[in-house]
Structure 1
Amino acid sequence: MTDAGDGPVGIIAGGRDLPFEVADALRMSGRPYFLFGVSGEADQRIELHPHIWLKWGEVGQLFNTIERQGIRDVLFIGAITSRPDYKTTRLDFGAVKALPEILRIVASGGDEGVLQGVAQFFERRGLRLTSVAEVAPSLVVGNDLRLGDAKAQTCELDIALAARAANAIGAIDAGQGVVVAAGRILAMEGPEGTDQMLERVCRIREDKRARWAFGKEGVLLKRARPGQDLRFDMPTIGPVTIEYAKRAGLAGIVCSEGEVLCASRSRCLELARDVGLFLQSRNLNDTSL
Structure 2
Amino acid sequence: MEINGRVVRQDESLAVVGLLAGWGMLPLEVAASLKARGARIVCAALKGHADTKLADLCDHYRVFGIARLGAQIRFFRRYGVRHATMAGKVFKAQLMYHRWGWLHYLPDWRCVRAFYPYFVTGSRDRKDDSLLGAVVNEFAKDGIMFQPATDLVPELLLAEGHWAGPPLTAAQIRDIAFGWQIAKELGRLDIGQSVAVKGQSCLAVEAIEGTDACIRRAGELCAQGGFVVVKVAKPQQDMRFDVPTIGLGTLETMRQAGATVLAVEADRTIIVERTRVLKRARQWGIRLVAVHHGDASQLRPAPKRLSA
- TM-score, L = length of structure 2: 0.83
1:175·1:188 contact (CA, 8 Å) conserved in 2? yes
More displaced, 260-269 or 73-82?
73-82
Q: 1:247 aligns with which of 242, 256, 261?
A: 256
Q: Percent same amino acid among aligned pairs? A: 26
- TM-score, L = length of structure 1: 0.88
CA distance in 1, matches of 2:276, 2:169: 20
User: What stretches of structure 1 of length at least 5 have no aligned partner?
Assistant: 207-212
The reply on whether 1:231 has 2:243 as its aligned counterpart is no
Shift of 1:256: 0.1
Q: 1:55 aligns with which of 51, 57, 65?
A: 65
Q: 1:141 aligns with which of 146, 158, 162?
A: 158
Residue 220 of structure 2 aligns to which amino acid in structure 1? R
Deviations 1:211-237 (A, max 9, x none): xx2xx5221111111112111111111
Query: Alignment partner of 2:27: what SS?
Result: helix
Distance change (3 Å), C-alpha of 1:219 and 1:58: same
User: What stretches of structure 2 of length at least 5 have no aligned partner?
Assistant: 1-10, 299-308
CA distance in 1, matches of 2:189, 2:273: 30
The reply on whether 1:66 has 2:76 as its aligned counterpart is yes
Query: Alignment partner of 1:30: what SS?
Result: coil
Shift of 1:45: 1.3
CA distance in 2, matches of 1:142, 1:5: 27
The reply on whether 1:88 has 2:104 as its aligned counterpart is yes
Distance change (3 Å), C-alpha of 1:184 and 1:96: same
Correspondence for 1:124 = 141
Residue 221 of structure 1 aligns to which amino acid in structure 2? V
Distance change (3 Å), C-alpha of 1:72 and 1:221: same
CA distance in 2, matches of 1:43, 1:103: 29
Correspondence for 1:111 = 128
Pairs aligned (count): 276
The reply on whether 1:191 has 2:208 as its aligned counterpart is yes
Query: Alignment partner of 2:208: what SS?
Result: coil
The reply on whether 1:14 has 2:14 as its aligned counterpart is no
Q: 1:266 aligns with which of 253, 272, 275?
A: 275
The two structures, once aligned, show a CA RMSD in angstroms of 2.1
Correspondence for 1:209 = none
Alignment of 1:156-167 (within 5 A): 156-167=173-184
2:32·2:57 contact (CA, 8 Å) conserved in 1? no
Residue 103 of structure 2 aligns to which amino acid in structure 1? K
1:7·1:71 contact (CA, 8 Å) conserved in 2? no
Correspondence for 1:26 = 34
Deviations 1:71-115 (A, max 9, x none): 111111112223164222224xxx314532231355421222222
Shift of 1:205: 2.8
CA distance in 2, matches of 1:247, 1:87: 37
2:33·2:153 contact (CA, 8 Å) conserved in 1? yes
Distance change (3 Å), C-alpha of 1:80 and 1:116: closer
CA distance in 1, matches of 2:54, 2:296: 43
Distance change (3 Å), C-alpha of 1:153 and 1:141: farther
